[in-house]
Structure 1
Amino acid sequence: MKITFLILLLGLSAAGQLAQAQASHDIAEARNLYAQANRPPQEITLRANLKAQGSGFFGDGSMQPGALRTFDGRYRPVPGLRYHAGLRLLEAQDSINTDSTHLWPVGSLRGFDLGEPGDAKPPRRFRPRLVKEGSAGQRREFVEVLTAVDAGPLLLAWLYTSGADAVAGRLSMAPLLLVGAGNDPGEPLRSLEPSRSSVQRLFGNRADAINAYAMTKQLVYDSPADVARMIDYFNRLAVVK
């Protein structure tokens, strides 16, 4: 019994050390990406590309209040930021000198929020995730999270760079709906058709329970907002199990 307990402790210790090592690696990589994006020659190229874009921004391209979520766990409100989805690049105003901006490519942040807590509409949450479209390889993108939590058993999100020409800064005509494991960043999100059959397959043996919930709340399967509510309910059931 004592030997088993000791092995369990050693296993937990090793897992903790691996997690700590991964976190340190993520922070170092994020700082390196940020540093490269904000010094020549890469900074000059990125800012020239941003200046040349008349479209491809999320929204109208104007600065909006928001917050950065860095890999060291900090939540950093900023007076203004804007996201160019075509270039996969976030530009954020300096908190002290608003005439100055900083560039944040995918991988340099744990995410960002557009909007402020307490507003009539909740902030829109963007997080970096691996995505896979069709037979194409995996890539890391900022996706807009639609589910209530970022790291639940299932995560539903919009991808705004589906079919995008990143060099030209152009976007596809419509975003792509993605789904996947929210608690496994190494598992890529994949496209989801908002239909009854496709959505119910996500829920396995809980499909009937989720369908009953959807009928009670008058939710429909072809509405991404309603599908997000179904997944939120599924996530609550899955956590309580």
Structure 2
Amino acid sequence: MLAQSNRELAEARAVHQQANAGASGKALRVALKQQPAGYMGQGAFQFGALRTYDGRYRPVPGLRYHAGLRLLEAQDSVNNDSTQLWPAGGLRGFDLGEAGDAEMPLRRFRTRLIKEGAAGTRREFVEILTAIDAGPLVLAWMYSLGPEPNAKGVRPLVGTLVAGSGTNGAEPLRVLEADQPSVLRLFGGRADAVRKFVATERLDYTRPADIARMMDYYNRVAVIK
């Protein structure tokens, strides 16, 4: 376990260094400046915190995430004009906003492996929808740029639901169809219990917020088993 943690930390530091130094760092910053859209929150910096592979929680004055480039930009705590770039492989995740803030509620983004079709896996920042991000099951949004531009000629952000184990970071999350058969399949032998919970609470299998509630219920039951 310690060897794995040390390896992850070394890999994360290498990814972060490459994104901020030399030709590769300059190319990323040029790419950011050339993007007319693709940021969460219209490109404005928001208060948040970084979660690094060494276990630290680092509040920062401003963060903004570009979903098209899968790149987080963080302002320096002393000099806001200076920023650091963080690809998904360089962080455990990040938080936007603050718990208890009604105007800017906390949004939790975590780095997870994503499996799509037969294309293999890749690391992505995903926004966690379940109450906890460490399982047994987790539901999240994966953001990307839409394939077609809108009326303004800009490719809008689109969200894809992904789900899977929250306890095994080596097991990738997979795209989830928001329908009853696909959702219930996640719960295995406890599908009947979840189905009863859905009926009692009048939940909808097509609503991401309701699916997250189903998973929260399953997670509580699974822990007790």
Provide TM-score, normalisation by structure 2: 0.92
Gaps of 5+ in 1: 1-18
Q: Could you tell me how far apart the structure 1 residues matched to 2:214 and 2:57 are?
A: 29
Question: Aligned-pair RMSD on alpha carbons?
Answer: 1.8
Gaps of 5+ in 2: 149-153
- Answer whether contact 1:154 1:181 (CA < 8 A) is retained: yes
- Answer whether contact 1:85 1:171 (CA < 8 A) is retained: no
Q: Could you tell me how far apart the structure 1 residues matched to 2:97 and 2:33 are?
A: 24
Aligned partner of residue 171 in structure 2, secondary structure: coil
In the alignment, does 2:139 pair up with 1:145?
Answer: no
Alignment length, in residue pairs?
219
In the alignment, does 2:114 pair up with 1:131?
Answer: yes
Deviation at 1:163, TM superposition (A): 7.0
In the alignment, does 2:157 pair up with 1:161?
Answer: no
| Aligned counterpart, 1:60 | 42
2:174 pairs, out of 190, 204, 227, with 190
- Answer whether contact 1:86 1:164 (CA < 8 A) is retained: no
Q: Could you tell me how far apart the structure 2 residues matched to 1:26 and 1:204 are?
A: 31
In the alignment, does 2:73 pair up with 1:110?
Answer: no
1:200 pairs, out of 173, 181, 184, with 184
Deviations 1:178-232 (A, max 9, x none): 1111111111111111111111111112112112212222211110010001001
Amino acid across the alignment from 2:53: F
| Aligned counterpart, 2:224 | 240
Deviations 1:111-143 (A, max 9, x none): 001111221153111111111112222111111
- Answer whether contact 1:112 1:126 (CA < 8 A) is retained: yes
Aligned partner of residue 42 in structure 2, secondary structure: coil
CA pair 164-23 structure 1, distance change in 2 beyond 3 A: farther
Provide TM-score, normalisation by structure 1: 0.86
Aligned partner of residue 26 in structure 1, secondary structure: helix
Percentage identity across paired residues of the two chains: 60
Aligned partner of residue 175 in structure 1, secondary structure: strand
Amino acid across the alignment from 1:33: V
In the alignment, does 2:200 pair up with 1:219?
Answer: no
Deviations 1:153-184 (A, max 9, x none): 1111111137779xxxx867631111111111
Q: Could you tell me how far apart the structure 1 residues matched to 2:160 and 2:119 are?
A: 15
Q: Could you tell me how far apart the structure 1 residues matched to 2:193 and 2:169 are?
A: 27
Going by fraction, where is strand more abundant, 1 or 2?
A: 2
Aligned partner of residue 230 in structure 1, secondary structure: helix
Deviation at 1:73, TM superposition (A): 0.6
Deviates more, 1:114-123 or 1:131-140: 114-123
In the alignment, does 2:22 pair up with 1:34?
Answer: no
In the alignment, does 2:194 pair up with 1:210?
Answer: yes
Aligned partner of residue 56 in structure 1, secondary structure: coil
- Answer whether contact 1:152 1:235 (CA < 8 A) is retained: yes
Q: Could you tell me how far apart the structure 2 residues matched to 1:162 and 1:82 are?
A: 16
Amino acid across the alignment from 2:49: A
Q: Could you tell me how far apart the structure 2 residues matched to 1:38 and 1:213 are?
A: 48
Deviates more, 1:171-180 or 1:117-126: 171-180
